[in-house]
Amino acid sequence: MRLVMLMIVSAALIVSPVSAAAEPGGGRAESLDRLVALVLERLDTGDAVAAAKWVAAAESGTEPTIDDPAREAVVYDAMAKLGAGRDLPEPWVRQVFSGQIESNKIVQRGLITRWRFDPAAAPGSAPDLAAVRPVIDRVNIEIVDQLAARRAELTAPDCAERLAYSVFGVFGAGNTDALHQAALVRAAAALCAPR
């Protein structure tokens, strides 16, 4: 239901530039901007992860593997434990991080597909994932902190509208491409808490 609501609000904002510029509720949506910025920062790590997987697959003569269920389970469990320490419901924390991981896979799959059709654009060397993992770990913790700090907004009936405003603020800044925008919508759709 929240995903449908976010899609409806998103579509309304896309077709109405005036609506996209108008802030709902006179400022209340600003409180989710930091959370959305963290989600985008986490999404941006997908570029390096995709490049590393692309190069590793090219070197081994295999297809890039996007899914890593064992690693994903570790993240879900660690974030659920962290969330429990902040009195957050485990199903909600798992929902949020499922959204983050699935949206990161959207970025990875999109880039790998692009490189298949445009090999000249593909990375020639793998980035150092040792530098990426600490970013993901830090952002994961900050996302859980924001879930706790913004719980009232994320459980409110107008959560999807608030998130749409913050997400479209990112779009309006012009720093994201269509792939990352689609992934950001997917990631944001998982942020509203079940009621």
pLDDT tens profile 133-148: 999 999 999 999 999 9
Average pLDDT (39-66) is 96
48-51 long-range contacts, Cβ below 8 Å, gap at least 24? 48/127, 48/129, 48/132, 49/104, 49/108, 49/129, 49/132, 50/107, 50/108, 50/111, 50/112, 51/111, 51/123, 51/126, 51/127
CA distance 130 to 24: 41
CA distance 119 to 114: 8
**pTM of the complete model:** 0.85
The model's pLDDT over 82-104, given as tens digits with 9 standing for 90+, comes to 999 999 999 999 999 999 999 99
Where does 2-9+34-189 sit in CATH, by number? 1.20.59.10
Instruction: Assess whether pLDDT exceeds 50 at residue 6.
Output: no
